[in-house]
Amino acid sequence: MYTLKNAIDGKLVASASDRMADVFNPATGEKIGQVPLSTNDEIDRAVENAKQAQPAWGDMPPARRARVMFKFLDLLNRNIDDLAREISREQGKTHEDAVGECTRGIEVVEYACGIPQMLKGEYSRNVGPAIDTFSTRQPLGVVGGITPFNFPAMVPMWMYPMAIACGNSFVLKPSERDPSASMMAWELFREAGLPDGIFNIVHGDKSAVDRILDHPDIKAVSFVGSTPIAEYVYTRGTAAGKRMQALGGAKNHMIIMPDADMDQAANALMGAGYGAAGERCMAISVAVPIGEETADKLVAALKPKVESLRIGPSTDENADMGPLITKAHQEKVLDYIDQGEKAGAELVVDGRGFSLQGYENGFFVGGTLFDRVTEDMSIYRDEIFGPVLSVVRKNTFAEAVDLIHGHEYANGTAIFTRDGDAARDFADRIEVGMVGINVPIPVPVAYHSFGGWKRSSFGANGIYGPEAVNFYTRLKTITTRWPTGVKEGSVFAFPS
């Protein structure tokens, strides 16, 4: 069993805290490690070192910062399998899924390598007589990130590569449930030549979160997690005067039109609904077929696929999905299935009682499919974050759009159709941040930006991509005039 350390000022530092959190292998239920719940003094030390290191890094030419990013990128690509195994060991997802997670995180590092181009300002000559104006984007200083358990490598990479490339130093608090992937990435970043103090990791729970949000030297914080915590983080951080972005929960709908390719739609729903055991903020958890005939065909296509899901540990190369993250979360998902059944939803495939020989103590839940779900049911309203797919039948496209608009979450959505007019209307009209047309999980590539609407996101900026440059820098505009030999008197009117 291992005990993790904090990463402060380029060194691994044992915590003095007497509070520890256990880390489990979700497939076996076995305790495999522990992580310190850091003290405020340790967090303050990390921030102070980050503050001392940042000015020299921020003054460094962006091209030189990019060279460190290129080295980091190379090391990540060469170590992607090891990083994926670290994810699977603590998070439980299959190795293939973990490799996919790493790949999407590495794409953000690739994007960050182009930071010299992204930090170019604008220049206007002769905005007035012999007067020029130009703009520049400058780093904020020390910034922070608080990340969730479901993507222990990718979501932190949505934050710190762009923040650091922009010239900031970074303090990360990863999830205490699966922190080792971030620690491995920190080691690789150091190997790439990142100066001490620019990237720091402190482990902890709510106490650490609050200290990061309250600390006067942290200028901005990025957060990904559930909506109640996102709202709390956003409110507390902004009250402390920080620039904040807080990405919350989701209940993502996929409309299936009568003209859709039913096999394609069913296969898409399987991957989007049950991949990573449903522990994705972009998972499709609600299928909305239009018309009874479409619904009957969809459920008939889904039922055997859900029943034949291959569920196992990450070491099983043939597994489609693995366990949930903790025993407590397993019990929460099972309770939602109970609630759905009691509320009158038709339980087409029941994932309760799933057990895997040799892994009886693992945190597994079988794939679950509900039909004839209604908007008043908790399995529809709440983000379950598990392998549970609900079918909500609607008679018309307009009713389906109204259903989506009526939900508090607006992270991602999709429509499957052959009708370009319906697809275009849906993309234009739907009040959701990320839209897929025959694409079930429309997570933007690294050179676009990720962000939901309504109660799926708090703050003005999306995460990674062009939005990240705006979030992690401040705009400064300079207006200059050099003497031309013409003497003028004082001017008291507003300049024009």
Catalytic annotation, residues? 281
Q: Map the chain to HEC letters.
A: CEECCEEECCEEECCCCCCEEEEEECCCCEEEEEEECCCHHHHHHHHHHHHHHHHHHHHCCHHHHHHHHHHHHHHHHHCHHHHHHHHHHHHCCCHHHHHHHHHHHHHHHHHHCCHHHHCCCCEEEEEECCEEEEEEEEECCEEEEECCCCCCCHHHHCCHHHHHHCCCEEEEECCCCCCHHHHHHHHHHHHCCCCCCCEEECCCCHHHHHHHHHCCCEEEEEEECCHHHHHHHHHHHHHCCCEEEEECCCCEEEEECCCCCHHHHHHHHHHHHHHHHHCCCCCEEEEEEECHHHHHHHHHHHHHHHHCCCECCCCCCCCCECCCCCHHHHHHHHHHHHHHHHHCCEEEECCCCCCCCCCCCCCCCCCEEEECCCCCCHHHHCCCCCCEEEECCECCHHHHHHHHHCCCEECEEEEECCCHHHHHHHHHHCCCCEEEECCCCCCCCCCCCECCEECCEECCCCECHHHHHHHCEEEEEEEEECCCCCCCCCCCCCCC
